[in-house]
Amino acid sequence: MSSLDLKQRVSLKAERYKVAWASDDEKSELLKDVLAMANAHRDGTG
């Protein structure tokens, strides 16, 4: 896999998620991203 392929597949967060003392909106942002990763389709995974 080339670095260009990796950049097209991976989106990195610039900041850490707030977990302790997080508002409901902040928690929902984390949950949304976790579900997106869980539902992401990759070719050749079985």
Q: Where are the domains of the chain?
A: 14-41
Residue 46 has pLDDT above 70, yes or no: no
DSSP 17: P
pLDDT category at 45 given cuts 50, 70, 90 is: low
Q: Residues 26, 18: contact at Cβ < 8 Å?
A: yes
Q: Rounded to 5 degrees, what angle do the CA atoms 28, 25, 27 make? A: 40
Give residue-wise pLDDT tens across range 2-42. Answer: 555 655 566 666 777 778 888 999 899 889 988 988 888 77
pTM, two decimals, is 0.54
Rounded Cα–Cα distance for residues 46 and 44 (Å): 6
